[in-house]
Structure 1
Amino acid sequence: MGEVFTKGELREAFPDTSQIDRRMRDLRDRGWRISTNREDPTLTSSEHRFVEMGAEVWKPGQSKAKTPAASLTAIQRREIFEADDYLCRVCGIAAGEVYEGSVETAQLDVARREVLKPGVATTTEMVTECRRCRVGGRAGRADLTSILGELEQMSQIERNHFSQWLEADRRDFSMMERLWGLYRTLPSDSRRAVREAVSPV
């Protein structure tokens, strides 16, 4: 995966196959991720990148198309954005915000996400992602079964605390958690000074 190719190379590899553009669209509709320079700025206008394989279309029963995000109506896309609070559900950035350490602004889109649910096979749901997370494939498959299982192991106090985060759709870090994050960024000598400061006298 990650190989770069051109349509000309595809035509040379499959000389008996007509309408190469349509064939690639068909693969995308079946879960294949093939990037162009719109999703991957490192590509030229004639290049494509093979990112992820979808359904094994050469097998019986695997050629049925998934519902592509591109086929959603404007109303359906707006409903998904509203449900996700107009935020990328991977990194949390909003449309138009500048990525940290760059001048690039975020663009939001609707992407497919595989979700493993209790008692059923993996399903596909729509979710809001920014272009950077979508191209990078950072989300992967969501394991709802595992999350619900871990919730069952929580105490009632932990569940109540977690519920507050869910209600606000954000996590407020305690002073200790913030200090831990800052400590982890320090050079070795500075980390040693922190350890000495908290060591028992």
Structure 2
Amino acid sequence: MAIADIPSWRNGNLSTMARCALWLLTEVGVGEIFTKTQLREAFPETSQIDRRMRDLRDRGWRIATNRDDATLTPSEHRFVEKGAEVWKPGQSKVKAAAVISAPQRREILDRDDHLCRVCGIAAGEAYEGGMETAQLDLARREVIRPGGGVTVELVTECRRCRIGGRGRLTDVSGVLGRLEQMSQVEREHFAQWVAVDRRDFSLLERMWGEYRSLPAESRGTVRQALEQS
């Protein structure tokens, strides 16, 4: 789509949301950073221009904050991807699947035990080795279903995992395939973890984790002890 083919963002006959979308396209550009101050200066007559911009997200527009992109400051946004052409008739309607209602959000957080399903951290819990605490939110994850179809499902993730795993694809069919390859004993053991949604590590597994974290010289000491036993 050529810039010349779209209306001016200064066109007062358009809705504020449409003008905001056009401003992002023509004045900012996909992939570029802009500040809240620049947005407000472009629309001085609109007291809630931040909300009009957020409304674009429900129409497929991706506008990142520092919660999504750690390279941004709290006052910065990045225009990541264009969505529906909301300046055209019929294009500004919200897709039902795009909006996550408050009851739906609570249901998913409860279902996921209010834990990040990638690293297991809880909201407000400090990350190891730092003072930063975890913030939980819902992420849309593409899932390969049995039969090869792809759906989008909601999952709880912390900010770090959501940023680092952007574009992550979940292959449920692959998991089911590996499940079929397990022995009966392995399946029963796995079923116990699934039942409580938690994995209990054996002493041997904990020892392996501790060994792997040792510096090279210390790992050598452990190897010598094993050779002498």
Same fold, TM-score > 0.5, yes or no? yes
Specify every segment of 5 or more residues in structure 1 that has no aligned partner in the other structure, as ranges: 10-18
4+ long deviations beyond 4 Å: 21-29, 63-66
1:172 aligns with 2:200: yes
Specify every segment of 5 or more residues in structure 2 that has no aligned partner in the other structure, as ranges: 1-29, 40-48, 86-90
Aligned residue pairs, count: 183
| Equivalent residue, structure 2, for 1:15 | none
Scaled by the length of structure 1, the TM-score of the pair is 0.75
The structure whose Rg is larger is 2
For 1:187, the aligned partner's letter is P
Q: Per-residue deviation at 1:48?
A: 2.8
| CA–CA separation in structure 1 for the residues paired with 2:119 and 2:208 | 21
For 2:209, the aligned partner's letter is G
Select which of 163, 173, 178 maps to 1:150: 178
| Equivalent residue, structure 2, for 1:83 | 111
Q: Tell me the SS of whatever aligns to 1:177.
A: helix
Q: Per-residue deviation at 1:119?
A: 1.2
| Equivalent residue, structure 2, for 1:111 | 139
For 2:200, the aligned partner's letter is D
Q: CA RMSD in A?
A: 3.3
| Equivalent residue, structure 1, for 2:154 | 126
Instruction: Describe the shift of the 1:76–1:66 C-alpha distance in structure 2 as closer, same or farther (beyond 3 A).
Output: closer
Residues 32, 78 of structure 2: 8 Å contact kept: yes
Identical pairs, percent? 55
Residues 36, 43 of structure 1: 8 Å contact kept: yes
| CA–CA separation in structure 2 for the residues paired with 1:54 and 1:145 | 31
Residues 88, 94 of structure 1: 8 Å contact kept: yes
Instruction: Describe the shift of the 1:54–1:92 C-alpha distance in structure 2 as closer, same or farther (beyond 3 A).
Output: farther
Q: Per-residue deviation at 1:140?
A: 0.6
| CA–CA separation in structure 2 for the residues paired with 1:196 and 1:92 | 35
| Equivalent residue, structure 1, for 2:97 | 67
For 1:142, the aligned partner's letter is T
